[in-house]
Structures are given as C-alpha cells and as structure tokens.
Chain A
Amino acid sequence: MRLRKMIHSLFLINCSGDIFLEKHWKSVVSQSVCDYFFEAQEKAIDVENVPPVISTPHHYLISIYRDKIFFVSVIQTEVPPLFVIEFLHRVADTFQDYFGECSETAIKDNVVIVYELLEEMLDNGFPLATESNILKELIKPPTILRSVVNSITGSSNVGDTLPTGQLSNIPWRRAGVKYTNNEAYFDVIEEIDAIIDKSGSTVFAEIQGVIDSCIKLSGMPDLSLSFMNPRLLDDVSFHPCIRFKRWESERVLSFIPPDGNFRLISYRVSSQNLVAIPVYVKHMISFKENTSSGRFDVTIGPKQNMGKTVEGVVMTVHMPKAVLNMNLTATQGSYTFDPVTKVLTWDVGKITPQKLPNLKGIVNLQSGAPKPEENPSLNIQFKIQQLAISGLKVNRLDMYGEKYKPFKGVKYITKAGKFQVRT
C-alpha cells in the first residue's frame, strides 16, 4: 500500500540531538528515521550547514533550523519542498506567537497546546489553518490568568465555535473586532545586504525592505496606504490581503487588514545607485611569515548616512584557525575573542564622526603554524533610526468603511543585513 501524504511526521530535535517532540499525521514512523538526519548533521559539522533536503531509502527528510531547534519533517512522496519548508516556518512562527519564544522549554511546557495546534494546522497533508487569527480563535494562547481561571471554572482553552474568518473571502480577519483606542502603526524596516571588497568598493549591494504593521482597528476597516515615491517598489511580495489590481493600476496599497501584527509587504531595491552604504571600514590585517604573529587594525567611520547617527555598531570576525589569541586595544566599546570558535566580536556602539572608533593590536598565532592563507571577512551590524535608506516615504493612510478616526503612525529604521567587508 502506498502512502500519499505531504507531511507524514514531524520531529523536533534540539542541538544536542534529542528528539523532544514527535507528531504523526498518519501511521507512526519510527524515530530511527532521524538517524539519517543525525548522520548528515555530523557530516555538516556546523549546524547551519545541514542540507535541508535529505533522501533516505524510504523517506525524504525536509528540515529547517530555527531558534536552535531542527524541525524535521518526514515525507514519503513527491511534494513541493518549498511548500513543506514554508509550512515548517509557519509552525515555528506560530509557536513564537503563542509562547512568546520558540524554544525547547516553551514547547515542552505547552506540549498539549502544541499538539492541538499541529493537529489544527495540517490535515492529511493539507494545511488547514495557518493564520494566527484563526488559530487563536480555535485554540486560545496560554496566559497565566487564563490557566488560573480555567483550573477554577473548568473552562477550556479550546474554542467551540467555528472561526469566523475561516471561510469568508477575507480569511485573515475575524469579525466583531472591537477596540477602545483605534490605532494603526507601520514600521518601514530596511536591511542593507552588501559585499565590500578590500579596496572599499561595493561588489554587491541591495536593500531588503519590509513594512510590518500593527493594526488595532474596530470593525472592518478598509485601508489605503500611498507612497511619495512608489516607483522604488518594483519587486514586491504582498500579504494576501492586498488588492493586486489597485497596486497595478494606481500604485496604492489597498487592503482590509488582519487584526494585530503582520507583515504587509516585503520589497527589494537592488539598483546599485539607490543603495547608499552608510559606513566605511579601514582595515589592515596581516600575518608575518615565521614569526607566529600578525597585526590587526580596523577603523569604522560613517559615510552616506544622510545626517543621521549610525548606532548599535557591532563587528564580528571569524579569524583563521591558526589564531591563538588577540591582544587589542579599542578606542571605543569593548571586544571579546573566543579562542575556541575563533570569533572576534567588537561592540562599538554609536559612531561619532569627531572621534572614529578604532581597534588595533597584535594577533598571536600557534607557534609553528604556517601563515594563514584565508583573509577573514568583517561582518558589520548597525542601525539608523528614522531613516529608510532607499528613500521610501509613506504619503498618507486613508480609511474607509468605518466612521471613527484612528491614530496613525509610521516609523522608519535602517539596519545592516548581511553586510560584509572583505580584507
């Protein structure tokens, strides 16, 4: 008998290789199937390098790694792997949403809710309810107050009516939402991904932007969000609530929002001249032949930062294996070097243009080790408040369908994404 089913089973595994939860949507698959996963994990050495699709004689294992937990799904037939991966991420998102964190402890503490959730999210391989709005109507998230009340009154955390949004044309929103303070907030968050080569010129740069929203509006509000410069957005992914036709014709985001927090759009700006690089790095890392030592000298400074302060600067460097320890002096902030993982972390903080932060000193190598060949890459993190580096600006937000006047707010922030400087 063949078994046709998208996701047959799910195993949650922590970093030390313990299976701490298993869920089977059909017959029970023995835990031993995870041995293939452990084998791959061992081969990969680093947890992040475990391949997401592993084939075994009778199954396929498709896994994701989130918050120090492997979500390993067991598949028996041809399925779209992206479908499975997306679903697994959705499961992790839901745990995060319900328990405030997606951790082994949180999952173990709420194991029954986790089981109820998984059962509600997938039926025979068909995702059933993955919208947090709907799930929360079916299974109420745990709160301290509710568990106290439940234990006294004997009421349950499982809703006994059909979720209202589940079958309407707007499955993401439930009916009868009511707030005393009606508010709508939008966070425009942009991350710069960049590769800077050793001479300081940009090899590659792009902006990954998202607009995260927190909407607490009563009733069925119909919103329109317009931009000063919508032309910037030519590569966008939308939340299902957005009316695509309006966007195509008028470049306006028109939608009935889900209730609460959600990601409205994500977008990508790649055209090179639009991506400003807000910091520069001057570096000198060298190893001398036959002396078992080297020099390290790095300075970070602001550029193209539109007059805003660059803050939250942290530099991490994966030093070559031969490095034993580092003897450095920081003019600002503090640094640590982990001799086991060879990771140097320098927490710089805010950059003041008058006095540029510098970190320099001596690198000690294992005696007798050959001069390292590889050039370490510098990974930089930073934040700039009140700035969307692409220049994207919200023009206005209009609301139709409801009478009240909501409070509206927009916040901008720019961060470093995968920002690396080669040396």
Chain B
Amino acid sequence: MNSDKKEKKKEAVKKVIASMTVGKDVSALFPDVVNCMQTDNLELKKLVYLYLMNYAKSQPDMAIMAVNTFVKDCEDPNPLIRALAVRTMGCIRVDKITEYLCEPLRKCLKDEDPYVRKTAAVCVAKLHDINAQLVEDQGFLDTLKDLISDSNPMVVANAVAALSEIAESHPSSNLLDLNPQSINKLLTALNECTEWGQIFILDCLANYMPKDDREAQSICERVTPRLSHANSAVVLSAVKVLMKFMEMLSKDLDYYGTLLKKLAPPLVTLLSAEPELQYVALRNINLIVQKRPEILKHEMKVFFVKYNDPIYVKLEKLDIMIRLASQANIAQVLAELKEYATEVDVDFVRKAVRAIGRCAIKVEQSAERCVSTLLDLIQTKVNYVVQEAIVVIKDIFRKYPNKYESVIATLCENLDSLDEPEARAAMIWIVGEYAERIDNADELLESFLEGFHDESTQVQLQLLTAIVKLFLKKPTETQELVQQVLSLATQDSDNPDLRDRGYIYWRLLSTDPVAAKEVVLAEKPLISEETDLIEPTLLDELICYIGTLASVYHKPPSAFVEGSRGVVHKSLPPRSDSQPCCECALTPNPSHSLHPPPPPLLPPPVPLPVVPPVTPPLSPQMGGGSGSFAAAPSTTAPTNMGAPLGSGLGDLFDLTGGVGTLSGSYVAPKTVWLPAMKAKGLEISGTFSRQVGSISMDLVLTNKALQVMSDFAIQFNRNSFGLAPAAPLQVHAPLAPNQSVEISLPLNTVGSVMKMEPLNNLQVAVKNNIDVFYFSTLYPLHILFVEDGKMERQTFLATWKDIPNENETQFQIKDCSLNADAVSSKLQGSNIFTIAKRNVEGQDMLYQSLKLTNGIWVLAELRIQPSNPSFTVHPIPENKWRRVRR
C-alpha cells in the first residue's frame, strides 16, 4: 500500500475492501489506507472513501487526518469529486469532523452544479442526525427550504426527502410548511424527477391538508398518472394520496366515481409482481377493501389462490376473499374455498375451512351452502379439517340459532377424533347448548368428564358450563353429573378461574335455581362478521399510512416503531360536504384517536352476565353484597410509557408550589377525588405521600349529608404496581354531618398487578353505611421510588450504555431556576439519586437513578443550562420495564 506505483496501491486497497465486504475487521490498516487518499485517481479515491466510512467511527483521531483532503476536494473543479467529498464527509459520524463540514456544505448547497446541490441536500439530513443543534444554528434548514423552489426537479425531490426525514424527528416544527404554492411546485417536480424522488414527494403530499374539495380534486387529478408507473412503490404512494384526499370529495361528484374506477387496475396489477411485492400490496389492499369495498368488488378472481403462491401470499389472499365475499360472488368463493381445503399445506387448509365459516356469518343467504360444504369436508375424515369445521360450525350456530341443528348428529359421530382443545371445547359447547335435543347428551358429556384434569382450561370451563346447562334443562336425570363436575371444578382444581366459575354456579344453583336459569341460559347476543374488521378509527389512521410498515403490521406506527414518540397521529381529512367550515379541516385530529378502543371482542361462548370473579367467602368488610367490586373496565390499548412518567417528573420539579419538604419526598396538595354530589354527601379529597419507606394515602372524609356516616371500608382495584391498603380504613367515631376526619391510610405494593391506562391510574371503592362509591385517581409515580434506588456508579455506566435507543425519552422542564446542587438535593428527597455530575461546556449534567417498588430501574440524564433555566431529562426505562436481576 505504501508502494509508489498507483496500480499496486489500488490493488492493495481493493484487497482490503474485499475483506471488509465479507465482514472481516481490517481497521488496523486505517493509517495506511488514509495515506492513499491524496490521489488524483478517482477510483482509488472512491475506494479509500468507502473504507473511511466503514471505520472512521472506531478511529476518530485518525479520521481527522482525512479532513484536509475532504475540504480540498470540496473545491475541486470536477463536480463529481465535489459531490463525492461532501457526501462521504456526511457519512463519517465523528463529531470532530462535523465541525469542519459546515463551510464546505454551505458552499455545496449553493453550488452551480445541480448534482452537487442535490447531494448536499441529503448531507444536511445526515448532519442533522449527528448534530441537530448545529444544523439549526448554521441555518441549513432555511437553505434546504429554499431548495424546494430549485429549478432542478432532482434537487427538489432530495430537498423534500431530507426535510421529511428531519421533520420526522421534530414533529412539532413547521419544517414542511405546505401551502398551495409549495404544493404546486411539488406537483410540477413530481412529473420530472426520478421514481424514488416521486415517492418522497408523494409521501410528503399525503401529509398536506387541502383547504377544500376543489383543491383536493385538483391534486388528485395531477397525481393519478402516477398510478401507471412501473415502480410499485410509486403506485402505492399515489394510492395513499388518493385514498386520503378522496375522503374530502363528495360522493355525488362525477369525479369521485371516476377516481374509484381508476384505483382498481393499479392495485390488481401489483398482484402480478414478485411475491414479496405482492405480500406488501395485499396487506394494503386488505385495508383498502375495508375502507372502500366498492373499489375492488368486481375483482374477486384476482385473489384466487394459485397453487404455487408462497404461503404468506396465500393466507393474505384468503383474508381478502372473505372481505370481498357478497351474495353475488359467494358461489364462486365457496367453490374455491372447498378446493383449498384439499391442499397440502395444513395451515392454509385450516384457514380455508375457517373462511367458509366466516362466509356463512357474513353472507346470510349462503349459510346453508356453507354448512353443507362443511359437512362434505367433515366426511373426508381428515383430522384437522374435521376439527376446524366443528369450530366454525359452532360460530354458525351462534349466528343463526335454531336453524342448522339437524347436523348435530353428524358432528357427534366425530367426537372421538377431536384432540385439539379448541375443537373439543366447541363440540362441548354445542352439546350443552342443544342438550334438550340430543338424547344422549348426558352420556356424551360424561365421557369427557373422565379425563377432566387432563383437559386444557378452555375445555374444562366449557364442560362445566355445558353440564350446568344440561342440568337446568333436564334436572331429573343429571343431578349426579352436575354434582360431580362442580366438585371437580371447585375442590380438585387449582385453577382460580375454574374454581370461581364453579362456585358461582354452585351458589346460584343452590340459592335460586330460577335466577340460575336466567343467567346461564340467557339469550346470547348474535355474533357478526364485524368481529374481524379493523376498528374504524384505527382503520382511518392506517389508511394514512398506506405503503408503510404500519400498513403491513396493521398497527399505528406509535405501537411498534422505535423512537416513535415523535410520531404525529394522522387522520383522514373530514368530508367537505359534512364539514362546511374550512377551519375544521385544519384542526389537528382529536387526541382520543391516540388510543383507539380495542376492537369489539367476541362475546365469550358462555355469556356470563358481568359477574366478577368473587370468591366465596366474600370479604367481610364489604358486607357480602354480590359483586360489589365489579371489575372496572380495563383497556387493552397500548400504553405510552412516556406519559405517566412525564407527569410524575413534572410534579417533582414543580418545586415552587406544593408543600415540598427537604426531608421527605414531595407531597402534592390534596385534591377532591370524590365530590359529594356523586357519593350521596360523602366528599373525599386526598393525596399520596412517601415517608421513610412507607407509602400512604392521606385522606380527608367530609360528611356533607344530613345523616351520620359510619362503617367505612376501602378497597382498590388491581393496578399497575399492585398498590393495596396495608390496613383497613380506620374511622373511629361515626362521622356527623358537616364533620371532617383526616386519615392516613398506609399502603403496600403486594396487591395484584394489572396494567392500567394510564399507568398510574388507581380505581378505588369506598363503602359506608349508605352505599358503595367508586372513583379513580392518578397517583404520582415518585411515591413508588424506593430508598435504595442509588445505583452503583460502575453498574450505572454499564447499564447506561446498554440501553437500547427505543427506551429513551426526553422532555424539557421549563421555568425552574435552581442550580445543580439544589436540584440534586431536592430530588434526593424523593429518592432520585445523583450518581454522577459533570460540567460540559458550561452545562451541568446530572446522572440520576431511581428504582421502583417492583424492581424496575430508571436512569436519567439532567442537563441544566444556566443561561436558560430549563432542564432536559432523559428518563430511560430499562428495556420496556425489564426487571433488573439483583
């Protein structure tokens, strides 16, 4: 490599690169390779650049040696070399180098050659990723915005791409300030730039909110030609823009119909591409047919499964077939599904059988046909086909009760071959539900009872319910059987769900058989095809993400993408005819779409009217009322870990107000939790505190009623950290009207745990001699910070490094004028410990640790800028609340 001959040098560097490509570490050669950089041979230069990009990070000091050559190359008369130099510099993620990059970059952004300008535009995005502050200070963002008006479409496209990327990490900033003028420029550039540029521009257009339906239509008109592009990513991005803006067009408009027609062919064409592309296209089509079934309603046949499609394509096609099934095409669909049920792939066959059941539920007219198809399949005696068929027939019974019971006999013939829990449970459900029409129902159920303890929970529960149903229908002959199952469930089982259900039945049957009948044999809600549709607000959000990973996973990006805390939730624009005022179209989507409610769940096979799991004997304090602690509805929406933490820390820093004491942790002033209006005169206000290791709930009970209150008791619902009262609520004397009493209720964290939304939500029930009252409150998280939350310095360093990026969140705390030491001691009062402190360029950095009662560590970095009295906090929950083993 140190040879004088250019050729030899080049060969040597090539060999180094070749080793690099197979993953060998050749970083030891760094100085020698860098020496070859000063050359006028372009190929050699490129090779050295390639090498530099790979290894500069591990050898930052050496990389500095290369800076001069870079700066010189940025002035080279050859635009190719200028562009290459600025591009490579941007890829070297070494802080020291970025400082030298600014001047050359500024020149290149204004270079006379568009090739250099477009390369420089991308470089701004790279630099922003390394040092965002620098980019803002240097004014590069404004230069980038100016490039949107560049005369060259490639430069425009790259500027848009760079700005979109930067904007993603700054959701609040108004970087891509889209207005009709800039939109017009983008649309012009759209026609002229490369396919990749078109994707960037289309994705950017999709974020624009047209001011009225006229503007929406004119944008749509200019985007539709993209549907004929050969690049499928361009097509899908165009589909996204159209699907979104279509929402604003009135359905009566001729253009609306035209647009619908234009959307079908490109979507179908995507299905003739390579299987990988087909897969992504199908996942998106699945969303589109749910949103606008009319687009593809005549294209059923293109979703017919080909024998040699990869399995992932087959399963997606099947799903879309069901969504498109209607009375008009059901015959064809059923014939296809029956064909698929004889294929080789077991997973696919199972799904095909289930699909037949879904057809029956979706298209009422086809139910009979579906049932007979299923019976045909049962006749094949192929084990897994029979089992799937029985599972779906159960659903058909639930949709069309008392219609197809004639097939029960055939089903019973296959009883012995069922070995999967789901199929067994389905069969038992059928027997129980129609016990009065099956002569030997008791024998059938008894046969299952023999191996009761070897069955899965699903089957056990089902068997218990089925026998109880049987007993209620034919009480005389089945007394013994029901006794047997109840004792199996309550005495011999250690499964709490089973035991509870057993006890409930037992109690019901022994106290009030009539009520038991009403409960157990109650009329069940019918199931409908809606159960497998995506919930509408989520669907609308996903439509805005057509073509992205979100559309493949059918989840909003906030649910799974790393570092998505900045993700802005998108929503479809309102339809213009329903929303005449323009301002409405511009208001951001309401926050309730952040956490869409979970899709309606299937009603449980046995509809137990909301009976909570209460185990007899009932708790004495609560006076044995039946189900006084009805389980509060829980949501399954994804929890944003940042939010509760944020509020908790915000409170801590709210040091000006409140009764913060230096010795103990911060205590918020009491607030009213339960107004007297809602609790027949009982008003409860309170707060939480933590003192020397014990948590307490400080309550003030006020009697605003006219009668005396007594017999107080309190209970908590299950919550995220298992908070529970450590002692009963002690109110010694009865509470006279207009009297208050202050109580400090000690709490512990050994109660049952259930994740709440928000995380720090606590649902409380309070009882007195008048009634039971419910309220919910949010507890500050810092009451859970334990005293031994000071992490070892070494452990801290090691853990800090290992924290994955996605666990990092940060926010600012404004208007807090304390110095580092005061902060440190204040925080220590709340068990947030300072592990290290350092001063970087005039900023005080504090490294903090804290531990929660359940053993989760949170590490944080505090940056205190003296000039600007604000704090930057990076709480870093360990790997999504991964527990650290101690």
Contacts from A to B (Cβ < 8 Å): 1-5, 19-28, 31, 44, 46, 48-49, 51-53, 55, 57-58, 60, 63-65, 75-83, 85-87, 89, 111-112, 114-116, 119, 123-124, 126-127, 130-131, 151, 154, 156-162, 166-167, 169, 171, 193, 195, 197, 203-204, 206, 208, 234-240, 244, 248, 263, 265-266, 268, 270, 318, 320-321, 373-375, 377, 379, 418, 420, 422
Contact = CB atoms under 8 A, between A and B. Distances in A.
Contacts of A76: 562
A77 B567 CA distance: 11
Given A77-B561, A83-B233, A167 B307 contact: no
Given A3-B805, A418-B306, A238 B272 contact: no
A160 B154 CA distance: 21
Interface string B1-31: 0000011001000100110011100000000
B742 interface: no
Interface in B121-178: 122-123, 125-126, 129, 152-154, 158, 161, 165, 168-169
B295 interface: no
Contact of A156 (B41, B276, B279, B805): B41
Interface in B535-555: 547-550, 552-553
Contacts of A420: 306-308
Interface of B: 6-7, 10, 14, 17-18, 21-23, 41-44, 46-47, 50, 54, 57, 78-80, 87, 90-91, 93, 113-115, 118-119, 122-123, 125-126, 129, 152-154, 158, 161, 165, 168-169, 192, 194-196, 199, 203, 225, 228-233, 235-237, 265-266, 268-269, 272, 274-277, 279-281, 301-302, 304, 306-308, 310-312, 335-336, 339, 342-344, 380, 382, 547-550, 552-553, 557, 560-564, 804-806
B115 A320 contact: no
A80 B548 contact: yes
A162 B80 contact: yes
A206 B302 contact: yes
19 contacts: A3-B129, A31-B23, A55-B553, A55-B560, A58-B805, A78-B548, A78-B564, A85-B274, A85-B277, A86-B277, A116-B50, A154-B7, A169-B153, A171-B154, A195-B304, A244-B228, A266-B230, A268-B272, A375-B342
Contacts of B18: 111-112
A49 to B, nearest CB: 5
Contacts, number: 249
B233 A82 contact: yes
B544 to A, nearest CB: 12
Determine which residue in B119, B236, B272 has the highest number of CB atoms from chain A within 10 A of its CB, and name it: B272
Contacts of A374: 342-344
A81 B119 CA distance: 24
A320 B343 CA distance: 10
Determine which residue in A4, A83, A263, A321 has the highest number of CB atoms from chain B within 10 A of its CB, and name it: A83
A377 B550 contact: no
A390 to B, nearest CB: 14
B17 A4 contact: no
A234 B225 CA distance: 13
Contacts of B269: 235, 237, 266, 268
Contacts of B126: 124
A239 B47 CA distance: 33
Contacts of B21: 21-23, 111, 114-115
A235 B560 contact: no
A394 to B, nearest CB: 19
A14 to B, nearest CB: 13
Contact of B229 (A57, A157, A238): A238
A335 B231 CA distance: 40
B706 to A, nearest CB: 61
A5 B192 CA distance: 25
Nearest to A152: B7
Contacts of B276: 52, 63-65, 85
Given A2-B169, A55-B560, A60-B549, A26 B80 contact: no
Contacts of A83: 196, 199, 233, 547
Given A80-B548, A127-B196, A158 B43 contact: yes
User: Which 4 A-B pairs have CB atoms at the shortest separation, nearest pair first?
Assistant: A235-B265, A156-B43, A158-B43, A52-B276
A420 B307 CA distance: 7
Given A82-B236, A235-B265, A268-B268, 8 more contacts: A4-B129, A78-B557, A126-B196, A156-B42, A171-B194, A204-B304, A239-B230, A318-B307
Contacts of A197: 335, 339
Contact of B562 (A58, A64, A265): A58
A69 B457 CA distance: 46
A234 B279 CA distance: 24
Contact of B549 (A28, A53, A87, A131): A53
A81 B195 contact: no
A79 B342 contact: no
Determine which residue in A160, A169, A244 has the highest number of CB atoms from chain B within 10 A of its CB, and name it: A160
Contacts of B199: 80, 83
A237 B236 CA distance: 13
Contact of A160 (B80, B123, B125, B342): B80
A156 B40 CA distance: 12
Nearest to A89: B274
Contact of B228 (A115, A157, A237): A237
Contact of B78 (A111, A154, A160, A379): A160
A53 B805 contact: no
A307 to B, nearest CB: 28
Given A52-B280, A124-B126, A82 B232 contact: yes
A204 B549 CA distance: 31
A159 B301 CA distance: 50
Contacts of A375: 342
B344 A123 contact: no
B231 A20 contact: no
B161 A126 contact: yes
Given A27-B57, A49-B311, A22 B548 contact: no
Nearest to B264: A235
A153 B721 CA distance: 75
A16 B304 CA distance: 33
A238 B380 CA distance: 49
Contacts of A78: 548-550, 557, 561, 564
Nearest to A52: B276
Contact of B22 (A20, A55, A75, A161): A20
Nearest to B42: A160
Nearest to A138: B80
B93 A377 contact: no
Given A23-B21, A52-B279, A418 B342 contact: no
A34 to B, nearest CB: 11
A270 B194 CA distance: 30
Determine which residue in A53, A151, A157, A206 has the highest number of CB atoms from chain B within 10 A of its CB, and name it: A53
B90 to A, nearest CB: 7
Contacts of A240: 194-195, 229-230
B336 A203 contact: yes
B563 A77 contact: yes
Determine which residue in A197, A235, A265 has the highest number of CB atoms from chain B within 10 A of its CB, and name it: A235
Determine which residue in A112, A268, A379 has the highest number of CB atoms from chain B within 10 A of its CB, and name it: A112
Given A58-B804, A82-B280, A237-B228, A193 B563 contact: no
Nearest to A86: B233
A51 B91 CA distance: 31
Contacts of A87: 196
A126 B158 contact: yes
A154 B194 contact: no
A154 B4 CA distance: 13
Contacts of B232: 82, 85-86
A80 B281 CA distance: 11
